[in-house]
Structures are given as structure tokens and as C-alpha cells.
Structure 1
Amino acid sequence: MKYQTRKKALILLADGTIFHGKAVGKDGSAFGEVCFNTGMTGYQEIFTDPSYFGQIMVTTNAHIGNYGVNEEEMESDSVKIAGLVCKNFSYEHSRPAADDSLETFFEKNDLFAISDVDTRALVSYIRDNGAMNAVISTEVDKIDELKEKLAQVPDMNGLELASRVSTKEPYFFGNENASHKIAALDIGIKKNILRNLAKRDAYIKVFPYNASYEEMSAWNPDGFFLSNGPGDPEPLKDAQEVAKKVIADNKPLFGICLGHQVIALANGISTYKMHNGHRGINHPVKNMLTGKGEITSQNHGFAINREETEAHPEVEITHLHLNDDTVAGIQMKNKNCFSVQYHPEASPGPHDASYLFDQFIENIAKHK
């Protein structure tokens, strides 16, 4: 049995705290910001989500890998997390629709992972002490060397990562004869966002993270979309400039997660790094316009400043996160622009937030 021969491994946090486990497959080390996701399912979508680039993912669900992987559930073309920490890793899977085991999937994507970690204790520690850089490694007897290397890993605060995950060249998605044309800025876009737009009779041209408003406008789109993505939104000056110009021309604009933060920054509203972020598929949000609650999928370590948003004469809060009252959605009062700090495309069981795509298409249709 594999578990009898697996090597000892550990996770070393930036503050020197150590949790012990065992290597899932290969030997090695992986560095990144440690964070946790509370979702009971959807591990493949999490691992391939560009928003998680550079992060060591701790999964709170006790079993990871038990239903294998399926090509249709990829959110990008490869694994984006830096490494995985879990409690029980399932080498065997039981889902008939699976294309492969998670172990083989990790081997193909050269991902280092450790299991048999007390994830309840680790998550509790992160919740109390905040997200921080960490290393997972099989070099359990080289703590001092690992500490030195870990000290060289850049902090997520101020880190621009969109360029690491964005497309290099523009590409198209959907039916070219669709009724609506949408220009999407890829700062870490998920495939399911494109699928949701395409099935609403939209043809999408996806542009690199540093594309200009003029480049995007040359295609003569009916609306503009700013995607989710990893890292700190503040360094994304090109994306902020795109948002400013789209807003100035009053073209239909929709932003999700990192795109939401970029729209806030374009309006002079600051962002900040959260203590440990929101990552899971059961986050409660209240729509302030309808009074309805939504169960949402979330993945972000930054948020926009609520006080500045409330004081802004041209922006209103449309959604609030009910756990901590952080801003979960905004819209501009006199412009065709809105955004949310969660993932309406993820549909983690409920489809509570899918109306946002309908709203965007309606905005485009009215503008035309």
C-alpha cells in the first residue's frame, strides 16, 4: 500500500509554526501563500482556478480525490495552485465519469502535495493568525534552509500575478453569429465564465491582461467584462485604465472578483488585504436591492473599502457579505457598470447568483 512507504512531510509557516504530514506522491518542496477553502466538493475547479495562482491550498473537506478528475471540470488549461495540503488523499476514485485519478492528474501537472495533516488545527491557526507565506516539503530535517528560502518569497500584498496567468494572444469563445459581442479582459479568467456568457447568445473575444481600451474597442464590442484573477489588484494599472475609459464612454461593464476590485480602484475606492480572505462555496450574501439572500462561491484575499464606497457619490453597494459585512457588490448610479466580489458562474449547488449574467446581457441589449 502506498501509505506505508510515503515520506514524512511538513508545512512550515512564515512565523515558524510547523504542522506534520506525509507526501502524496513525489518528493520536493512548494512555496506560496497558505489559504483554505471550505468547499465540500469542487476540488478540481479550485486547483485549476487562475485566482489561486501562487497559493498553497488547504482543503477543509476530509477527503480529497475520492471522485477523481474530469476534463470538462477544468477552469483553465493547467493546475494553478502552488501546492496542496489535505487530511485524507484518495488514491482510488469511484466516479464512473472520471477521466483519471487525482494522483495521476497531479503527476501530469507536476504538483507537490501533502496529506495526513491536522487540517482542523491548521485552518484554526490561519483563521486566528491570518494568511501568510508557507512551504510544504519532504525536507523535514532542513528546517533552517527552508526558513531561509521561505523568507525570500514575496508577500501577496502588492504582488501582481495577472500577467502570470493571462492569455498571451487574443482568442475567441462561442458562436461568432451570436447576438452580442463581449470584449473580456483576461486577468485570470475561468472557463465557466466564458461558458455562461456564450450560452446567453454572446460571442466573446478574450484579451491579454495589458490590452488597452483602444485595442479592445477596435473589435467594436457591445459590452466589456473584467475577469477574476490572482494577486493584488492595486498594481493592475492597465486594467484600471481600461475600466476608467469604459466607464467614461458609458459602455456596459461587468466585473467579477479581481475585476470588481479593479472597477472600485478605477473609481478611487481603495482595496486592502483581508486577514484570511473568503474561500468556499457556502458564503451568505444579501442583495441590498431585492432583500434576497444568496448562497455564493467565493475566492478572494482582497476586498474594497466599505467606508469609501458608502461615501462615493457615484457608487452604491448592491451586495453585502453577511458573515463580516464586507462589500460583495457595487453598481454605478449614472453609468452602465456593476460588479460582484463572488463567483456567479460557480453554481455550487444553488444557482442563486446566475441572474447576474442575465443582468449583464440585459444591460447590453438596452444599450444597443
Structure 2
Amino acid sequence: MQAKLLLEDGTLFTGTSFGSDRESVGEVVFNTGITGYQEVLSDPSYCGQIVTMTYPLIGNYGITRDDFESIRPYVHGFVVRRHEEIPSNWRAEYSVDRLLKEYDIPGISGIDTRMLTRKLRHFGTMKGILATGNKSIEELQEMLQATPLLRDQVARTSTTQIFSSPGSRERIVLVDFGAKSGILRELTQRGCDVVVVPHTATADEIRALRPDGIQLSNGPGDPKDVPHAIEMLQSVLGEIPVFGICLGHQLFALACGADTGRLKFGHRGGNHPVKELSTGRCFITSQNHGYTVVEESVANTELEVTHINNNDKTVEGLRHKQYPAFSVQYHPEAAPGPHDSSYLFDQFIEMIREHKRNTPTIPRQAALVAQLKGEQ
């Protein structure tokens, strides 16, 4: 069956349909990863987007349930040069086509993804509609213009219930803005007692869980669409150690008085070089974001820049000058890789321990007695 991808500037791509048979509108973006298409499809940060893979052969090693980064895919469409219908890998359980059909996501193959990527790099990401069937170009243009891009992606991808992954060491509250499973995996591998909370969790609700640290997850969309998280952060900063990743990094910056802005075409792939300013070391990182912290806005805050992107010099890491809190724009839990930056989770745990040594807390029994006396 024929499929069409129509961009808001009028550019039309015609190819072959796979996945679901329907129309879908989203922000058209590209990812430069050679491997990891399953992790891309299941990354909640792609919610509301039509993802183009620049590597030409997609689907050759199939899909396996073990490699999902969330409970389901949230992409609005999938664009590839060549779709391999029959995967060849001993771990494969089924094909990309079946995955897309299962979650009602349309795909298109057989188009010039190199041309599409060059257009997005030159003009920036843009709205598009991916459609199968016989609708005319005029009908598709009308649907495209009438359908706004999503602004509630975090609410769509965040958990609605608190749940835990028990451990014997530090208790970490993971605030889920659309978290990848890799973050939970890295924390549990270090023995942490992880409690996952919705994006709407308030500072008092988090305090009631008596955490040793707060992990701010990745997530989709504009950080300014999540103002309640900024308010929560402003309340707990300095009281509880904080580590932010991706969207969590941007929210941390906003909570400290910095600003964020939209990138022309974003950073999406597994090969982005990041420089650590304190050592001069370069790390190869996995990234997926369309917004960034505005470097000039950091100057009048209590933040300092710790990492920069070696390609375009955008801010990739921040640290608070007074409080135990830091963040990175990239993904240290990267799956399928690279794993250069997984040490940051160890730094987070060490920061928690140092904070506990420097600020001993009142024993729980004494705090309970004081509370009961106050109520009387």
C-alpha cells in the first residue's frame, strides 16, 4: 500500500506503507543512530513526533520485549529508507511492522531519508502528516493545518500511580516525566530503593516518602509546559540532593532562574560529543531533545556550566554552586549505548552520602514524638 509524508512547507514524500493503516500528525524529527531503533520507538521523549531514521536499514534484527525503554511506543510515525520485513537475529521475537500495527502507529519506507534529513537540518523540524490510503494532497493539507502539535506529552507518558522497586541502599524518588527504563535500571543495579512518582507529585508528597535523593527523569516536549514541576523543585532544592536528566536538566535550570529555548533541529542520536569542562575529557553520549538551556541565562543564577556540546557549544551539564544538585542534558543511562557517562549515577549516590554526612537528620522516632507533641 502507498503511504505519503507531507510536510507543512508542502514537501511531499511518497513511499510504501508498513505498520498501521491511518493518518497521523506530528513533529517530524530525525535520529542519527545506527542501532537502537527499538529503543528510539519506545523512548517516551518522542511522544508526538514522527521519527526519521537516518541509517538506511531498519528492522534487520527485529524486536525483543527485553529491550523496551517504556511500556509502549509513543511515536506518531516512523520513517525509514528500507524496512526489513523478516528480521535475522536469535533474540528477535517479532518484526517492526508487527510492533507498529500493535500500537496503531503508521510507517513509511522507500523514501529518500537523506533528502528529508538535509531539509530538516536546513529549515528546522516541522509539522507533518503521515498517511496511508487515497486521501488527496488537499485533504491531507487541511488535516495538517487543523491539527495542532501536542503540548501535554508529559501527562501522556508519566505514570499515574506511585510504585516502587525495592532496594537496600539509598532511597531515591524518581519523578517520572516520561522516564526511560534505563534510569530505573541504573539505580536498581546500584542497590537503590527506588520509588517512582507521577510528574504531578508535590514537594510535600515527595518529603513524605523520606527520600535520600530525587532523580528527575527525561521526558518529551517543552519544559515550560510543566510549571508545577518547577515549583516542586524550588521547594526541595538545598534540602534533598537532586540529579536531573534531559527534561529534568531543563526543569532544574528553570527552577534556578535560567531560561530554555528551542533548538533548530535538536540533538537525537547516539554519537554526540560532550566536553567535561573541569577535566577537558570528551564523552560520546546518547541524546534526544529539542530544547536547550540558554547559556547566557545561567550567568545571573547560582548555577555553573559543567559540560558543553562539542558540536554546537550548547549547555550539556549544570551544577548548583551551593546546593547538592546537578544535571545533564544527555542520557547517561543510554540504551543501547554508548555507556561513557554511566558514572554520573555513582556521582549522584556519593553526593547523597556526603550530604547526609554534612547534614545529619533527626532520628525518625524523635521526629514522630515531636510531631505528636505539636499536634497536642
Q: Report the TM-score, using the length of structure 2 for normalisation.
A: 0.92
Report matched runs for 1:1-368 at 5 Å: 7-139=1-133, 141-155=135-149, 159-175=151-167, 178-249=168-239, 251-309=240-298, 311-346=299-334, 348-368=336-356
Task: Tell me if structure 1 keeps the 8 A contact 2:305–2:319.
Answer: yes
State the structure with more CA Rg.
2
The alpha-carbon distance between structure 1 residues 61 and 286, as it changes in their structure 2 partners (threshold 3 A), is same
Task: Tell me if structure 2 keeps the 8 A contact 1:192–1:345.
Answer: yes
Partner of 1:4: none
The alpha-carbon distance between structure 1 residues 350 and 51, as it changes in their structure 2 partners (threshold 3 A), is closer
Q: CA RMSD in A?
A: 1.2
Note the C-alpha offset of 1:347: 5.0
Deviations 1:66-93 (A, max 9, x none): 0011111101111111110100001111
Note the C-alpha offset of 1:173: 1.8
Note the C-alpha offset of 1:239: 0.6
The alpha-carbon distance between structure 1 residues 236 and 349, as it changes in their structure 2 partners (threshold 3 A), is closer
In 1, the alpha carbon distance for the partners of 2:107 and 2:329 equals 29
Across the two proteins, how many residue pairs are aligned to each other?
356
In 1, the alpha carbon distance for the partners of 2:187 and 2:170 equals 10
Note the C-alpha offset of 1:367: 1.6
Note the C-alpha offset of 1:108: 1.6
In 2, the alpha carbon distance for the partners of 1:349 and 1:16 equals 36
Task: Tell me if structure 1 keeps the 8 A contact 2:39–2:335.
Answer: no
Task: Tell me if structure 2 keeps the 8 A contact 1:160–1:232.
Answer: no
Task: Tell me if structure 1 keeps the 8 A contact 2:157–2:177.
Answer: yes
The alpha-carbon distance between structure 1 residues 26 and 182, as it changes in their structure 2 partners (threshold 3 A), is closer
Residue identity opposite 2:141 in structure 1: K
Note the C-alpha offset of 1:313: 4.2
In 1, the alpha carbon distance for the partners of 2:339 and 2:200 equals 32
In 2, the alpha carbon distance for the partners of 1:71 and 1:77 equals 10
In 1, the alpha carbon distance for the partners of 2:325 and 2:207 equals 16
SS in 2 for 1:344: coil
Note the C-alpha offset of 1:151: 1.1
SS in 1 for 2:193: strand
Task: Tell me if structure 1 keeps the 8 A contact 2:258–2:301.
Answer: no
In 1, the alpha carbon distance for the partners of 2:174 and 2:66 equals 21
The alpha-carbon distance between structure 1 residues 317 and 101, as it changes in their structure 2 partners (threshold 3 A), is same
Deviations 1:258-284 (A, max 9, x none): 000000110111111110000000000
Deviations 1:277-324 (A, max 9, x none): 000000000001111000000000000111111x13411000000110
Identity of aligned residues (%): 45
The alpha-carbon distance between structure 1 residues 347 and 46, as it changes in their structure 2 partners (threshold 3 A), is closer
SS in 2 for 1:234: helix
Q: Report the TM-score, using the length of structure 1 for normalisation.
A: 0.94
In 2, the alpha carbon distance for the partners of 1:197 and 1:101 equals 30
Task: Tell me if structure 1 keeps the 8 A contact 2:42–2:68.
Answer: yes
Task: Tell me if structure 2 keeps the 8 A contact 1:160–1:233.
Answer: no
**Comparing 142-151 with 213-222, which one deviates more in the overlay?**
142-151
Residue identity opposite 1:333 in structure 2: K
SS in 2 for 1:197: helix
In 2, the alpha carbon distance for the partners of 1:202 and 1:210 equals 23
SS in 2 for 1:205: strand
SS in 1 for 2:119: helix
Residue identity opposite 2:157 in structure 1: V
Gapped regions of structure 2 (runs ≥ 5): 357-376
**Comparing 218-227 with 344-353, which one deviates more in the overlay?**
344-353
Task: Tell me if structure 2 keeps the 8 A contact 1:68–1:101.
Answer: yes
In 1, the alpha carbon distance for the partners of 2:160 and 2:327 equals 25
Task: Tell me if structure 1 keeps the 8 A contact 2:238–2:324.
Answer: no
